[in-house]
Amino acid sequence: MGNKINNNIQEDLFSNTSGPDTTRPTLRSNEPLPFRARPVNFEGYFGQEHVFKRYPFLRTSNIPSLVIWGPPGTGKTTLAHILAKSSGLELYTFNAVLGGVNELKKLIASATEMRQRTAQEAIIFVDEIHRFNKAQQDALLPYVEQGSFIFIGATTENPRSSVNKALLSRVQIIELKKLSEKDLVSIVKNVSSQFDISIDEDSINFISDYSNGDARNALNILELVEKQYKQTKKILSLNEIKPLVLENAREYDRNKDRHYDVISAFIKSMRGSDPNSALLWLAVMLDGGEDPVFIARRLVIFASEDVGNADPQALMMATACLSAVSQIGMPEARINLAQATTYLAATVKSNAAYLGINEALEYVRSNQTIEVPKHLKNFPPQEFKGKYQYPHNFPHHFVKQQYSPNGTPNFYRPTEMGREKNIKDRLDNLWS
């Protein structure tokens, strides 16, 4: 959750030399390469030169409280470590995902106690500050206001919407940009030289091109090359590296824009009766680790919303798929999902039932309490002389009578698609 990093130890951990430093006892070979290779000075920090041109105070020892934001793998945490070392301040780190207000207050108390005892300023670095709720962010306010420590927050989300305005007004926002392919080439070359990782120019360019501006992705791939060489003493060729790169280059998040964009494309492809495109987006979701039950539930909704009574079999197919997926799980559940997806995409469509319930709800919400006609009540008033007519007592099991108040609109307007045409013809004949 939170911990203090002494700058002497930090220098040992993150020293950026021209070759591997075998004298560092705290550095373990099983630590991830992005951690081992993290630069400790501005000279080894690639790709964000615009930040230092715009905010030259970052290179001084007099830094204000900051919120650093930018895409993943652009160097937010690294910059915080470099700022702490260059300013000669103690760094206390805290992860907003793992800790709450109580843990944060303990860390603050430790930093303020150290300041009172030694007059040593401190930096408190909160990673993923956007994960803090308002109450947690408010806990920082009085300390940042008083200058009890220098606060640095890091976030992948725009702080203007993810950090509350009171805290935001007391900090300087530093925006990092997505790393270019040229930046990543420099990083990969520097790290491969630093840790004596054998890799050719073509492979470096390929890794940099497909890492999507994320240095952590690039170094994770480079680490696979490093481990393979240690195990086999064989240098990987570009053709052997390509599958590793492509596997790590595919992005999919399960709770952000990519998640919603792909499920949207999936549904719209089925609605547009394009089973090939629907299968493509289904494969993207499954490859990205999407919950197959979530996909099956969306199929059940689609069966009623977009297919409806044009093909009543669709809802049966979708609910059977949901049951099968829940019972079987992956990887076999992909077959059930593919069957239901292609059926729903290929079959006839009608959204008449979906539109009907939406219009009925809107009608109910825009009117006062809608009274039930007396002859339809469970216990009609004794003085009421009208009588409910039981349809099964009449030819064709139908009799015309009023089932709703006067003026009730026609909410359900069946189409002429598939089985719904039969429904439309029957209703037209009965009520014409």
CATH code, 240 = 1.10.8.60
Site of tokens 């599958």: 243
169 & 187 share domain: no
Q: Does residue 381 lie within any of the structural domains?
A: no
Number of H helices, E strands in the chain: 20, 6
269 & 327 share domain: yes
Domain boundary among 206, 231, 247: 247
154 & 300 share domain: no
Q: How many domains does the chain have?
A: 3
* Higher per-residue pLDDT: 376 or 324: 324
CATH code, 133 = 3.40.50.300
115 & 146 share domain: yes
Cβ(14)–Cβ(24) below 8 Å: no
100 & 193 share domain: no
Cβ(184)–Cβ(208) below 8 Å: yes
The string of pLDDT tens digits covering residues 209-246 is 888 788 988 898 888 888 887 777 777 788 888 876 76
The string of pLDDT tens digits covering residues 317-368 is 999 999 999 998 889 999 999 999 999 999 999 999 999 999 999 999 888 8
3-state DSSP assignment of residue 421: helix
Provide the token pair at 211: 């890492």
d(CA 348, CA 306): 9
Q: Which amino acid would we find at residue 23?
A: T
Domain boundary among 133, 155, 175: 175
Is the confidence at residue 9, as pLDDT, over 50? Answer: no
3-state DSSP assignment of residue 209: helix
In whole angstroms, how far apart are CA 157 and each of 67, 160, 259?
11, 9, 16
280 & 358 share domain: yes
144 & 206 share domain: no
195 & 153 share domain: no
d(CA 412, CA 148): 66
419 & 332 share domain: yes
The pLDDT of residue 252 is 61
**DSSP-derived secondary structure for 322-359:** HHHHHHH-TTTHHHHHHHHHHHHHHS----HHHHHHHH
How many CB atoms lie under 10 A from the CB of residue 83? 24
* Higher per-residue pLDDT: 75 or 251: 75
From the list 333, 356, 311, 79, the residue with the least C-alpha distance to 215 is 79
Domain span at residue 263 reads 250-370+405-432
d(CA 260, CA 108): 38
Domain boundary among 198, 215, 247: 247
In whole angstroms, how far apart are CA 94 and each of 76, 123, 228?
14, 11, 34
Q: Does residue 308 lie within any of the structural domains?
A: yes
pTM of whole model > 0.85?
no
Q: Does residue 378 lie within any of the structural domains?
A: no
Q: Does residue 398 lie within any of the structural domains?
A: no
**φ, ψ dihedrals at 174, nearest 5°:** -115, 115
8 & 119 share domain: yes
Q: Which amino acid would we find at residue 156?
A: T
303 & 418 share domain: yes
The pLDDT of residue 156 is 86
216 & 332 share domain: no
Beta bridge partners of 256: none
